[in-house]
């Protein structure tokens, strides 16, 4: 680790030594010495010693059952601790590169660049118009239990304290002892969940991220923005403005997840109201101790009535209302339905009195006090509202078609599913403009569902269970009024009728507002026809009036990459955005693009700033919606300082993309990219879909089959219990390949496309280099591809094949490994070798700990599949999956 920042090296070493001592204390010196032997062999093997590698593998294959779990846990926990040290180190003012950290001054840099093109007043105006919404999702990528996450957070806090105090500080030993205790607690806890978290538990985790981190990060961000504006002579942002908001899919995403029901959605919505009221109540209790002043404006005195301490009286009145709201929300969550208890129903109930206090303090010479904690609370209200996040509902289009079809069958109108698109639209538009009710009385709603007999069947509509669940969800939305639910997302939306059917069912279920309906285009075909389909939709006068000339469209990254390969998907997403922007402009519609990006490159992930600046010119325009998934939420928003940094990156990137958009792609670039994308998808599908041996190989070489035993999240690993790759969710598809260090979804197809282009004539090679240097989209794609290829390891992958794959399937692995080796040659033609020595050293250190986990996992898979085995084999297997995920810094 000699090339690492010495301070980071010391942190990793200290945590490793404390872990080693804990293992020795708990498991005995024999296990500790075994782990140390494995570590030293791995270090020498990783540096090129074939003899040590052979000895390492022999040692791991010969482990006794009672040695498997402690060995797997030892290496897994070290990788988790190394991650913690690296994450905390990015916040340390003592690190070597702190002065040169571009992320710390990212807003300054963007402001400086922007003011060369617009004046300060225009910049202020643009900041007021920014609408950035980060959507927290609980896809099953967070492999670490929340019990341990809390302890990891405490380690970060202690490391930060140790950074800030002198080496001879009298309490330094106390803090080191605290680290020792935390590591001991972690080691003696079960790191693997025994049960899948429920959708409600996932939602509570999302609320905890807001409570522990974002609650502080948002006012800090707004304070920094205000300071930059006032220093440049401009006004602070209005108190009711916040450029960043948060939404959630936790408890609302029912696409292929039978565990998310209408009752779950209702409970999550009311729990959000309870949590928001509780957080504001805590804030106002703190403010009450501070705002004891007696001077106040007549306006505030008139509002609170006769009293000696007007600010405290104002806050006390609000606190009573918040307490009532908590009681109401708790009862509503328990009942899964609206309680009749009194509660705060509108944001103005809180906002306006606090604004009165703020103005009163400013006008009576106490502006400094006004701009302290009171301003923070007001800024939080502008960001989080009464619900913390706005919940999205996501459902498959077929489920809505089924409801309409059952209604048509009940009314004897015909077979809706057999109608063509024009017939469907005609029927739906006619019903949308009808004044009579659409839904007939239901036996269940009338309390007669238990009555059997012909009379009930004739008099009451009895929808199927699936149909009834859709309608119950829509009634939950209706209960919420204008609060809580933000959008209705339709998966696999293919025609305008898919959107119209949702609008009709929402209205029929009592949803009075025009809830935004958002089509999600996921597969390659969906992306290619998205512009055409939205053009049809915007051509309908009824819908144009319904949407109010504003529209969201969601671009799916995960399933499009699984369908067509990463290169073809990325290019299709780029072109789709261009087409959607042009379509919206033709129809005078304000468009917001919603990016369903995953955490990994294989699912559209990567650094946020580069991803935003790589979007087509004009596609951002001050508005951006993007998912933040699984473990990436913890990495980017787990601590207030990290969250502030991440929020600044989003803000700066959207501002830059809006006011200083990249130039349009040259025609030559587009032609070459189109050619490569076509070659890529042909190559990808040729392997994944057309090679009959591919799926059997995938299931043999990777732990895909065993993933179902890992309690990652509330959603099943598959949309359907049976089926091939198409039925597998994108996350386990990525996870399985990452476990064996092949990362196939990120590069397959692109390898042949880039090889052909980079080995073509001199003109094409020169064009590739020009695209990398001048086209942000292409440069970002190549850099991400280079980064993920850098995490692959053909020797590790080959070892899995040797242990797990039958002779008749070995050729698939051999071909994949050969193709992986060639892609690096293509990348070196396009861009120079990456000179990030620090990152290379970090991966080298990780290799010492990940390599034994890979060799051990292959042995565990072999044992689990071919022989009677002790339960410890499966437990060690689960731990190895978690450890490798930690070593690679991502799961799915």
Which active-site residues does the annotation give? 139, 562
Can you read off the two tokens belonging to residue 210? Answer: 């807001």
Helix spans in 509-630 (H): 524-538, 541-547, 558-564, 566-586, 608-613
Exposed (0-12), middle (13-18) or buried (19+): which is 843, by Cβ within 10 Å? Answer: middle
565 Ramachandran zone, left/alpha/beta (phi>0; psi -120 to 50): left
Cα–Cα distance between 865 and 322 in angstroms, integer?
56
Cα–Cα distance between 369 and 91 in angstroms, integer?
29
CB 387 within 8 A of CB 250: no
Cα–Cα distance between 607 and 629 in angstroms, integer?
13
Residues with Cβ within 8 Å of 410's Cβ and at least 6 positions away in sequence, in order, are 440, 461
Q: How far apart are the first and last CA of the chain?
A: 28
Cα–Cα distance between 122 and 76 in angstroms, integer?
51
CA 117, 118, 120, 123 torsion-angle sign: negative
CA 857, 862, 863, 864 torsion-angle sign: positive
CB 262 within 8 A of CB 469: yes
Cα–Cα distance between 360 and 358 in angstroms, integer?
5
Three-state DSSP at 134 gives: strand
- Of 147, 145, 212, give the one whose Cα is nearest residue 182: 147
Cα–Cα distance between 876 and 853 in angstroms, integer?
10
Which residue has 């800024």 as its token pair? 379
Strand locations in 123-241 (E): 131-137
Cα–Cα distance between 184 and 586 in angstroms, integer?
63
Count the residues in the chain. Answer: 892
**Which one-letter DSSP state was computed for residue 691?**
-
Can you read off the two tokens belonging to residue 383? Answer: 């960001």
455 Ramachandran zone, left/alpha/beta (phi>0; psi -120 to 50): alpha
Give the residues across from 394 on adjacent strands: 253, 489
Strands 517-521 and 485-491: parallel
Cα–Cα distance between 651 and 117 in angstroms, integer?
18
- Of 160, 162, 164, give the one whose Cα is nearest residue 88: 160
Cα–Cα distance between 812 and 434 in angstroms, integer?
59
Which residue has 């990060």 as its token pair? 217
Cα–Cα distance between 479 and 510 in angstroms, integer?
8
Strands 623-629 and 590-596: parallel
Encode 310-338 in three state secondary structure.
HHHHHHHHHHHHHHHHHHHHHHHHHHCCC
CB 201 within 8 A of CB 259: no
- Of 488, 255, 277, give the one whose Cα is nearest residue 390: 488
Three-state DSSP at 146 gives: helix
């Amino acid at each position: 680790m000699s090339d690492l920042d010495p301070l980071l090296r010391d942190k990793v070493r200290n945590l490793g030594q404390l872990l080693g001592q804990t293992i020795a204390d708990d498991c005995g010196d024999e296990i500790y010495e075994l782990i140390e032997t494995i570590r030293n062999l791995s270090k020498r093997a990783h540096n090129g010693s074939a003899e040590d590698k052979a000895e390492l593998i022999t040692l791991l294959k010969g482990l006794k059952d009672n040695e498997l779990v402690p060995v797997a846990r030892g290496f897994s926990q070290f990788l988790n601790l190394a991650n913690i040290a690296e994450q905390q180190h990015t916040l340390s003012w003592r690190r070597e590169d702190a002065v040169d950290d571009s992320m710390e001054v990212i807003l300054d840099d963007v402001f400086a660049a922007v003011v060369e093109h617009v004046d300060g007043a225009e910049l202020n105006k643009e900041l007021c118009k920014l609408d950035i919404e980060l959507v927290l999702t609980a896809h099953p990528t967070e492999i670490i239990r929340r019990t341990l996450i809390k302890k990891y957070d405490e380690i970060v806090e202690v490391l930060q304290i140790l950074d800030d105090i002198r080496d001879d500080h009298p309490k330094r030993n106390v803090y080191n002892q605290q680290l020792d205790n935390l590591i001991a607690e972690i080691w003696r806890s079960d790191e693997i969940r025994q049960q899948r978290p429920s959708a409600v538990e996932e939602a509570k985790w999302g609320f905890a991220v807001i409570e522990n981190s974002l609650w502080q990060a948002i006012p800090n961000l707004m304070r920094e923005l205000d300071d930059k504006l006032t220093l440049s002579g401009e006004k602070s942002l209005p108190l009711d403005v916040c450029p960043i908001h948060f939404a959630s899919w936790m408890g609302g995403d029912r696409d292929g997840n039978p565990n998310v029901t209408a009752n779950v959605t209702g409970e999550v919505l009311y729990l959000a109201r309870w949590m928001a009221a509780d957080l504001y109540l805590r804030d106002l209790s703190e403010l009450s101790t501070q705002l004891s002043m007696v001077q106040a404006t007549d306006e505030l005195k008139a509002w609170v009535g006769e009293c000696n301490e007007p600010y405290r009286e104002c806050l006390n009145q609000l606190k009573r209302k918040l307490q009532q709201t908590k009681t109401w929300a708790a009862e509503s969550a328990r009942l899964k339905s609206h309680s009749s208890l009194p509660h705060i129903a509108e944001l103005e109930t809180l906002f306006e009195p606090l604004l009165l206090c703020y103005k009163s303090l400013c006008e009576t010479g106490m502006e400094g006090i006004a701009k302290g904690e009171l301003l923070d609370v007001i800024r939080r209200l502008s960001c989080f509202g009464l619900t913390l996040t706005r919940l999205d509902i996501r459902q498959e289009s077929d489920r809505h078609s089924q409801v309409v079809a059952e209604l048509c069958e009940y009314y004897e109108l015909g077979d809706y599913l057999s109608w063509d698109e024009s017939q469907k639209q005609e029927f739906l538009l006619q019903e949308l403009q009808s004044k009579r009710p659409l839904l007939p009385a239901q036996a269940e709603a009338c309390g007669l569902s238990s009555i059997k007999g012909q009379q009930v069947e004739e008099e009451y509509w009895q929808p199927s269970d699936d149909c009834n669940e859709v309608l119950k969800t829509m009634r939950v939305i209706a209960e919420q009024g204008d609060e809580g639910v933000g959008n209705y997302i339709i998966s696999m939306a293919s025609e305008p009728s898919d959107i119209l059917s949702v609008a009709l069912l929402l209205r029929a279920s009592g949803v009075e507002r025009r809830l935004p309906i958002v089509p999600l285009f996921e597969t390659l075909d969906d992306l290619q026809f998205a512009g055409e389909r939205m053009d049809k939709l915007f051509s309908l006068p009824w819908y144009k009036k319904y949407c109010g000339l504003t529209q969201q469209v969601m671009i799916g990254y995960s399933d499009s990459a699984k369908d067509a390969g990463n290169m073809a998907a990325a290019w299709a997403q780029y072109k789709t955005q261009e087409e959607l922007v042009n379509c919206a402009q033709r129809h005078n519609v304000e468009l917001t693009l919603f990016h369903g990006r995953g955490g990994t490159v294989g699912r559209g992930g990567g650094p946020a700033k580069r991803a935003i600046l790589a979007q087509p010119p004009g596609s951002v325009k001050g508005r951006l919606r993007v998912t933040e998934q699984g473990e990436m939420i913890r990495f980017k928003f787990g601590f207030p300082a990290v969250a502030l940094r991440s929020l600044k990156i989003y803000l700066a990137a959207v501002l830059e993309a809006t006011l200083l958009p990249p130039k349009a792609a040259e025609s030559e670039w587009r032609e070459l990219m189109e050619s490569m994308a076509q070659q890529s998808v042909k190559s990808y599908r040729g392997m994944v879909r057309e090679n009959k041996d591919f799926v059997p190989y995938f299931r043999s070489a990777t732990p895909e089959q065993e993933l179902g035993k890992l309690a990652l999240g509330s959603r099943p690993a598959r949309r359907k219990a049976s089926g091939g790759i198409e039925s597998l969710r994108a996350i386990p598809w990525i996870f399985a390949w990452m476990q064996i260090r092949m990362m196939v979804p990120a590069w397959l197809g692109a390898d042949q496309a880039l090889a052909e282009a980079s080995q073509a004539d001199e003109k094409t090679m020169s064009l590739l280099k020009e695209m990398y240097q001048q086209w942000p989209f292409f440069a970002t794609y190549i850099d991400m591809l280079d980064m993920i290829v850098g995490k692959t390891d053909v020797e590790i992958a080959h070892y899995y094949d040797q242990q797990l794959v039958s002779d008749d399937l070995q050729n698939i692995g051999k071909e994949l490994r050969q193709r992986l080796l060639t892609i690096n040659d293509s990348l070196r033609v396009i861009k120079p070798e990456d000179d990030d020595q620090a990152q290379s050293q970090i991966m080298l250190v990780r290799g010492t700990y990940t390599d034994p986990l890979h060799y051990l996992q292959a042995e565990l898979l072999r044992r689990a599949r071919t022989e009677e085995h002790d339960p410890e084999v499966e437990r060690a297997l689960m731990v190895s999956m978690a450890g490798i995920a930690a070593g690679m810094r991502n799961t799915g």
